[in-house]
Amino acid sequence: MNWKGDVYTSASSNMASGTSGFGFCLPVTSFLLILLLCVQSGGSQKKKENMLAEKVEQMMEWSSRRSVIRMNGDKFRRFVKAPPRNYSVIVMFTALQPQRQCSVCRQANEEYQVLANSWRYSSAFSNKLFFTVVDYDEGADVFQQLNMNSAPTFMHFPPKGKPKRADTFDLQRIGFASEQLAKWIADRTDVQIRVFRPPNYSGTIALALLVSLVGGLLYLRRNNLEFIYNKTGWAMAALCVVFAMTSGQMWNHIRGPPYAHKNPQNGQVSYIHGSSQAQFVAESHIILLLNVAITMGMVLLNEAATSKGDVGKRRILCLVGLGLVVFFFSFLLSIFRSKYHGYPYSFLIK
């Protein structure tokens, strides 16, 4: 979870610069708050209800316009923090401005939008739950007030009482997939949201484009379709699949390892993972290349023996092939040996 650390540092540095700016703001707002509270406590029960109805109405109106309500400091205090409330609010604290360079925030925002939309357009939509967002650049005071120093953070504000520990979404561990968020919300508020992802059209469009491109090509060359029967092309494609799989690209796809590891102490970059249970992306690329080289060597050896032509050329071809096979295989073996501790054999290269 490196990214979290990065976010943390960047956000906290912002925080430091921000503190001085908002220092004077705080008394004002707290004064306002006290004023607000006074008004409320002074008012009768009826007034309270009126106010609640007003708030709910306002929230509904906003959320009908946009599924995620944008909040600044004042709005946040009025609608999220201050009682009376009879609705739950989910707040995403984030920093979406481009100058903050928080790529995680953007991804989290997308997931959050998906979730909010699924709630907004579901049949169960009610005024019991609202989705809001507070951006650091619009409501830094809120961040300060809640002692928050990393973004993004998801929090749930229950209708009654203060948020507890479990009301902060455990982003580090669970991640921010909207399904997980929905599960968390169901846990906190008893509102079940079925996440409906808008079908990802980009993939479909890309596929359609590809198909039409290929179709167009075929149509243009309809008089000369020989190239479909080109075995080399097909063999290449097959080998690509094979190489991708044997070098563990599927593992990368599922586990999502980092590209390489940089040692924070001395800044050394290691491309090969030390354990046999894991691998880096860079490592799998290296292995892929080695595999390709060895296979090419084998093919060359064969070519050298079967092709016609100049003997000298074929000899060179043969030696090159042999060299490829032997050298790269021993290299591969040495990498394997370094990863698989206790493996006794090696060849040429230790």
User: Which stretches within the chain are classed as H helix?
Assistant: 2-22, 25-42, 45-65, 73-75, 103-120, 140-145, 171-174, 178-189, 201-220, 231-246, 249-255, 281-306, 311-339
CB of 170 to another protein, least distance (A): 6
Q: Which stretch binds another protein (CB under 8 A): 93-101, 202-210, 259-267, 328-336?
A: 328-336
CA distances from residue 185 to 190, 191, 193, 350 in whole angstroms, order as listed? 7, 7, 8, 55
CB of 174 to another protein, least distance (A): 8
Q: Which of 37, 38, 166, 205 binds another protein (CB under 8 A)?
A: 166
Neighbours of 267 (CB within 10 A): 7
Would you count residue 2 as binding another protein (CB under 8 A)?
no
Would you count residue 26 as binding another protein (CB under 8 A)?
no
Strands 153-157 and 88-94: antiparallel
Q: Which stretch binds another protein (CB under 8 A): 36-44, 95-103, 149-157, 168-176?
A: 168-176
Would you count residue 195 as binding another protein (CB under 8 A)?
no
Mapped onto helix, strand or coil, the DSSP state of residue 349 is: strand
Would you count residue 302 as binding another protein (CB under 8 A)?
yes
Would you count residue 338 as binding another protein (CB under 8 A)?
no
Asked if residue 291 lies in contact with residue 299, where contact means CB atoms within 8 angstroms, the answer is no
The interface with another protein within residues 280-299 (CB under 8 A) comprises: 283-284, 287, 290-291, 294-295, 298-299
Q: What single string gives the DSSP state of each residue in 220-283?
A: HTTT-GGGGG-HHHHHHHHHHHHHHHHTTHHHHHHH---SSEE-TTT--EE-S-SSTT---HHH
Would you count residue 349 as binding another protein (CB under 8 A)?
no
Q: Which stretch binds another protein (CB under 8 A): 44-52, 81-89, 262-270, 324-332?
A: 324-332
What is the per-residue binding string for another protein in 211-250, x denoting contact by CB under 8 A?
--------------------xx-xx--xx-xxxxxxxxxx
CB of 148 to another protein, least distance (A): 16
